[in-house]
Structure 1
Amino acid sequence: MTILFLIYGLFIGSFLNVCIYRIPSGISIIKPPSSCGSCGHKLNYIDMIPVVSYIVNKGKCRYCGSNYSVQYPLIEILNGLLYVLVYTRFGLTLSSVLYCLIISLLITISIIDLRHKIIPDGLNITGLVLGIIYIIINQKLIDGLTGAAIGFGLFLLIALITNAMGGGDIKLMAVLGLIFGIKGILLITLSSFVTGAVISVILLAMKIKSRKDEIPFGPFISLSALIYIFFGSEIINWYFELFKLH
């Protein structure tokens, strides 16, 4: 099962690369079939085997020799490894399948936001559908709806006060609130600002970014959601135990 989760993760990771490239350009993720971005040659199945094709072809197009971005195998590997971690952590359950899909969605959102500074509505709608399925399966309707209202309301308020949040961030927080409920969205909110502050300081210190550069917030939200998926229960329990001690 671990190997199967890895394989599924790698192949879905390959599909995520298609989404990352096409969605911001308004191109269908289904048609036309995948092709080389340089010569336009239609790719065969053998050209699209995750990671393996990239290694065998030395990161180049088999038809014109143009270099492919290292992003392709990295996204595939990242998605595959996260799927394995989900299976290791939660076993073979319906929740595991939904977590895997949510994680793939967050990866896609993060890369698109980093590149284009947008979170497309279509991705948030996909998350909304996954969220509705999740709260129905886990019978957490009230907690989910309340979490969605808190996530939406908090980030809308922050956006109005600071003018530093986009509509995509606000909608994403509503989706995550729907999925993870009240405790989850509060922890994700806190964690996103902490990770955002730390990483931003590092980027500024290393002069990768300047104070004038916009740093998209979607990746920090996504990273915080990943932290909650894998460690949320432990963090919340630790906090309440710490509270009891005091």
Structure 2
Amino acid sequence: MPAFLLPIFGIILGLIIGSFLATLTLRWPEGRSVLAGRSSCDSCGHQLRAWELIPAVSFLIQRGKCRQCGTMIATDHLAIEIAAGLIGGLALFAAPGFDGLAGAIFGWLLLTLAALDVKHHWLPDSLTVILAGSGLMAGFFLVQPALQDRLIGGLTGFAALAIIAALYKRIRRRDGLGGGDPKMLGAIGCWLGWQALPVVLLGASLIGILVALSWRLRGKSVAADSMLPLGSLMAIAAFPLWLFQTAGAGLPY
């Protein structure tokens, strides 16, 4: 396939995978099987036909409503499909070939974890393990970052947030971080290497400040105990950082 077509392929593949990921984020927290059974409307049970399952396109054609009962379809599904398409296209634009496909997998896993964290404050261990394992596996095939940097990144990423969480709980007598956050930062370290972890945390912090400011502007109360999905914030910071690393943008570290 010509190199200039790879980003388009990445977008199409991402839209398809995004449809699956959107279903996963809906069904998994409810204990429903992701693979078993045909897709159907959550409101009336109408079984969806093939032309109603075209990623993004079907949503737009049906104007975001179930064709049978007219109930509005959750926009989360469309957002995840579009995000997955963008991840696939950007990854294969930054690195046409295996490196780009690996980066797309990194982005799709981050997207899934981010969606689950935003909606359910849940970072499943099984998915975090897949993120970490795939990052270390990529180290055997990709030159940068080196495998030892990925291993150190996994250990230091987990240890850093675990220590912060323990100190916070000891001082404040309450949890300040979710149990999945240290594991997720460690998994990100397995992809980006230990050198990138301060940048990920800085980016997540800045994004968190912007989120808190948007809440204030909308009249929502923001206090010391307000819950921000740190896993999602780290995911949003981590994928663009991978793009910069891959494109050789020359980050300060």
TM-score w.r.t. the length of structure 2 is: 0.86
Q: Which residue of 1 aligns with 2:135?
A: 131
Distance 1:89 1:155, change over 3 A: same
Q: Which amino acid aligns with 2:79?
A: L
Query: Quick one: which of 168, 190, 193 aligns to 1:181?
Result: 193
The aligned residue for residue 155 of structure 2 is 149
1:78-227 pair list within 5 angstroms: 78-91=83-96, 93-138=97-142, 140-162=146-168, 163-211=175-223, 212-227=225-240
Bigger helix share: 1
- Structure 1 unaligned residues grouped into runs of 5+: 241-246
The percent identity for this pair of structures is: 28
Aligned length: 239
After superposition, give the CA deviation of every residue in 1:127-160 in whole Å (9 maximum; x if it has no partner). 1231132112126321111111110011101111
Q: 1:238, 1:179 → 2: CA distance?
A: 16
Show the counterpart of 1:228. 241
Find the aligned partners of 2:247 and 2:61 in 1 and give their Cα distance: 42
> In the alignment, what sits opposite 1:244?
none
- For 1:99-142, what per-residue CA distance to the aligned partner results, in whole angstroms no more than 9, with x for missing partners? 11111111111121111111112221221231132112126321
SS of residue in 2 equivalent to 1:197: helix
Deviation track 1:31-75 (CA, whole Å, cap 9, x = no partner) reads 122111011122222111011111221211122222101222222
Gaps of 5+ in 2: 169-174
> Counterparts of 2:160 and 2:241 in 1: how far apart (Å)?
18
Rounded Cα–Cα distance in structure 2 between residues aligned with 1:98 and 1:239? 24
Question: CA–CA distance in 2 between the matches of 1:57 and 1:182?
Answer: 46
Deviation at 1:189, TM superposition (A): 2.2
Superposition deviation, residue 193 in structure 1: 2.2
TM-score for both structures, normalised by structure 1: 0.89
Q: Report the secondary structure of 1:39's partner residue.
A: coil
Report if the CA contact (8 A) 1:151-1:174 is conserved: yes
